[in-house]
Amino acid sequence: MQTTKIYRLPYQKPEVFERLKAAQMEAAKVWNECTQAHRKCRINQTPWLNQTALQKLTKGKYQLHSQSVQMVIQAFLANIDSTRANRKALIKNMKYPWRTKRFYPVAWAAQSVKYELGILTLPMGRGRKSLSFKLDLDFLPGAVSLVWNRGFEIHIKQEVQLEKKKTTGNKATIDLGEIHISAVTTNTGQGLIVSGRGIRSLKRQRNIALAKLQGKQSRCTKYSKRWKKLQKAKNKFCLRNSRQIREYRHQATRQVVEFCRTHDVDTVFIGNPDGVRKKNCGRCHNQRMAQWEYGKDIDYLTYKFKMAGISVLIGNERGTSSTCPECGHRHKPKGRTWNCPKCSYKKKHRDITGSLNMHNLAFGEKTKYPETIKYLRPVITGSSRWLDTAQSSLTLTNTTSTSVRGKSFDFCPKY
């Protein structure tokens, strides 16, 4: 399996910056030519061009390494294939690529990338100067791409070894949430709650800061000196904020995977909360729900579990958080505790209750309320100003952990 490591490029000299920009513009030209050629075929009703034909068409025309051109063509053909499949499945408004692009990420295949003496060399084709970056890598780089994300970034693929598939018979369920990113219970009587308050507060901070800057910007003439200054401030803030949120998410999901690994879990069920967001619950709540990125949580968890050799099932979690696991009575809980009015199931954690019900839903077996529940809170360790490690935070250290028994759920990490 491959994961991606992201390295942000610090300040570049103007001439280097121009070269990077020119490379992306050149890649966009390849894409545009493919788009036009494909459009012609559709209009004239002639056979569509395949990879060989497109390679022939673009050969020697662009100031890029031949494999970089091939990567653009491959991406284009993959796009065509998925559009065709979607159109066949009658998904409306699916268009074949038509837009003329100005920029496109430049990619290098693994064979063309060189890494020697701490310098990453990316060839630009015969007779042209290669791009080279000083980077401290502790692995052999795979395919590389040059991406613009409010600044240049280098994305490097890394080959990761998968662990052996586990067959211990232990199962776990995960209830995703906004206040608590995940509540995990195993059928061996263990529980884990990972707080999501850090991410939530960062998002709230972003909303407030953006509103302030936006208000100021709305009084400026567009593209004036002051407008540009404010725009720069906005970009800078958003970029840092999104990096922090990403780091929190990696930490939180890693904590879940480590927990499952220490308790020898072999299969995990993740409840997909799709549908919770569709209800209209007022301005503030709607904004919170719209910014809750549970899809990312599912993605991160899935690939991290895959690396750890744990199988993942994803399914609907409808009704799990509003049903009493003991008597089956249904009511919507208020606050963080679950009190059943019909039986003795009282003062239990709301998200853990949801997770407990999933055992019945996914594996068809009832499980007892966990004896010990561990609370964890993701914390950003160390500053990573230029170096962002995405999808690779499995080695970072653990921070807070508190074990609580039974009802004492008042412990909530404050931010």
Binding site for Zn ion (CB under 5 A): 324, 326-327, 329, 340, 342-343, 345
Nearer to Zn ion, 27 or 324 (CB): 324
Answer for the pair 64, 106: CB distance below 8 angstroms, yes or no: yes
Nearer to Zn ion, 195 or 353 (CB): 353
Q: CA 231 to CA 113: how far, in whole Å?
A: 36
Smallest separation, CB 90 to Zn ion (Å):
45
Smallest separation, CB 325 to Zn ion (Å):
8
Nearer to Zn ion, 205 or 339 (CB): 339
Nearer to Zn ion, 303 or 369 (CB): 369
Smallest separation, CB 332 to Zn ion (Å):
14
Q: CA 171 to CA 185: how far, in whole Å?
A: 9
- The secondary structure of residue 340, as a DSSP letter, is -
Smallest separation, CB 180 to Zn ion (Å):
22
Per 3-state DSSP, the chain is made up of helix, strand and coil in percentages (nearest 5) of 40, 20, 40
Answer for the pair 124, 64: CB distance below 8 angstroms, yes or no: yes
Nearer to Zn ion, 140 or 343 (CB): 343
Closest CA to 185 of 369, 375, 398: 369
C-alpha Rg value of the chain to the nearest Å? 25
DSSP 182-248: EEEEETTSEEEEEE-HHHHHHHHHHHHHHHHHHHHHTTSPTTSHHHHHHHHHHHHHHHHHHHHHHHH
Edge-first strand order for the sheet with 152-159 is: 106-108, 144-148, 152-159, 2-8, 387-388
Answer for the pair 133, 154: CB distance below 8 angstroms, yes or no: yes
Smallest separation, CB 344 to Zn ion (Å):
8
Nearer to Zn ion, 40 or 366 (CB): 366
Smallest separation, CB 322 to Zn ion (Å):
12
Smallest separation, CB 391 to Zn ion (Å):
41
Answer for the pair 186, 368: CB distance below 8 angstroms, yes or no: no
Edge-first strand order for the sheet with 170-176 is: 311-316, 265-272, 170-176, 180-186, 190-195, 372-377, 400-405
3-state secondary structure of 286: helix
Smallest separation, CB 327 to Zn ion (Å):
3
Smallest separation, CB 336 to Zn ion (Å):
18
Nearer to Zn ion, 310 or 340 (CB): 340
Nearer to Zn ion, 78 or 327 (CB): 327
Residues near 181 by beta carbon (within 8 Å), at least 6 away in sequence: 194, 195, 196, 199, 249, 252, 253, 297, 378
Nearer to Zn ion, 48 or 369 (CB): 369
